[in-house]
């Protein structure tokens, strides 16, 4: 998704929230330096995800804090496990599991670092159903059998991703998982993937090699890139993957699962703001 006029205000809002999360007394020079150091990216970057990634990287450097959201990732996964135990969905009901995973995209430390508050909104998000649903179109365009790349986003929703993967495996799909290479907000890393038991469900777990979401932005090890290029389709979770990947062509079907958290992402699928989207792009 290319940069839109609303994007600068969103980056500024996320900068404010990450500074507040760190409880910094001397926050003004850090905010000023971060705004200056990221200003140059607006002219050259082709998507807002890159700028947001650079913003968080710079704050981490200035505050000497590389993983301030570790506890939020742990707590979000814990709450999601409890939620799943209380609201299970049958293994055969892939569509409803996809809805859980998409609505779970509301658990986003970039918008709210309090996992408990995010989960208080989950019932309502699931109850909205899909405002746009291309999921059947996506699966209809896959060969049989198919091997899929599943690119994760936030912790918490990752518990529901795991249950989608379980349902896909039951239908005969093989899954390759991709996570962040380094900590970024409450996004999934290999540590969380192992803790949640993904290794028992997927063929391989790859990572981006960086804290950034888009693996096309970094030089993947050649064998990893070749393996990805041979896959039959991709399922991509969340806004960052949408921002970084959706405006680039792909040779395989791609299903973007996300909450339309801002006007540009809502316009992309022609849906209301804050709705659930399963969009083939």
Please state, in angstroms and rounded to a whole number, the distance separating the CA atoms of residues 48 and 175.
28
pLDDT in tens, the chain (281 residues): 888 889 988 889 889 988 988 888 899 999 999 999 998 888 888 888 888 888 988 998 999 888 889 999 999 999 999 999 999 999 999 999 999 999 999 998 877 767 888 888 999 999 999 999 999 999 999 998 899 999 999 999 999 999 999 999 999 999 999 999 888 889 999 999 999 999 999 999 998 877 666 665 456 677 777 778 789 999 999 998 999 888 888 889 999 999 999 999 999 999 999 999 999 98
What pLDDT is stored for residue 41 in this prediction? 85
Q: Which tokens in the block code for residue 174?
A: 């093989």
Residues 6+ apart with CB under 8 A from 55: 11, 14, 15, 34, 38
Which residues sit opposite 204 in a β-bridge? 176
Give the pLDDT score at 216.
Answer: 59
Write down the H helix ranges in 40-150.
Answer: 41-44, 48-63, 70-86, 94-103, 115-119, 122-127, 135-140
Strands (E), the chain: 130-133, 147-151, 174-179, 204-207, 233-237, 254-259, 276-280
Can you tell me the distance from the alpha carbon of 158 to that of 123, in angstroms, rounded to the nearest whole number?
Answer: 17
Cα–Cα distance for residue pair 124/115, rounded to 1 Å: 15
For the record, the structure tokens of 221 come out as 């090890």
Residues 6+ apart with CB under 8 A from 82: none
Q: Distance of alpha carbon 174 from its chain centroid, rounded?
A: 20
The structure tokens listed for 89 are: 């969905």
Phi, psi of 45 (to 5 degrees): -70, 145
Task: Find the DSSP H helices in 87-153.
Answer: 94-103, 115-119, 122-127, 135-140
């Amino acid at each position: 998704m290319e940069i839109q006029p609303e994007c600068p205000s969103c980056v500024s809002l996320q900068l404010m929230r990450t500074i507040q999360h760190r409880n910094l007394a001397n926050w003004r020079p850090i905010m000023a330096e971060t705004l200056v150091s990221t200003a140059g990216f607006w002219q050259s970057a082709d998507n807002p995800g890159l700028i947001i990634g650079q913003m968080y990287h710079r704050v981490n450097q200035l505050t000497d804090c590389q993983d301030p959201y570790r506890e939020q990732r742990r707590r979000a996964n814990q709450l999601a496990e409890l939620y799943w135990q209380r609201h299970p969905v049958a293994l055969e009901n892939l569509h409803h599991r996809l809805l859980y995973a998409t609505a779970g995209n509301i658990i986003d430390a970039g918008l709210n670092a309090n996992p408990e508050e995010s989960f208080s909104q989950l019932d309502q998000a699931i109850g909205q159903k899909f405002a746009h649903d291309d999921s059947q179109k996506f699966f209809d365009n896959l060969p049989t059998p198919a091997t899929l790349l599943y690119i994760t986003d936030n912790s918490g929703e990752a518990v529901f991703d795991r249950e989608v993967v379980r349902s896909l495996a039951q239908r005969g799909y093989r899954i390759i998982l991709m996570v962040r290479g380094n900590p970024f907000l409450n996004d999934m890393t290999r540590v969380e993937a192992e803790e949640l038991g993904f290794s028992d469900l997927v063929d391989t777990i790859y990572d981006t090699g960086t804290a950034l979401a888009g693996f096309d932005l970094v030089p993947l090890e050649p064998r990893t890139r070749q393996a990805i290029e041979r896959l039959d389709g991709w399922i991509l979770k969340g806004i960052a993957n949408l921002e970084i990947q959706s405006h680039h062509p792909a040779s395989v079907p791609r299903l973007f699962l996300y909450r339309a958290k801002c006007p540009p992402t809502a316009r992309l699928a022609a849906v209301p703001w804050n709705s659930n989207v399963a969009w083939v792009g």
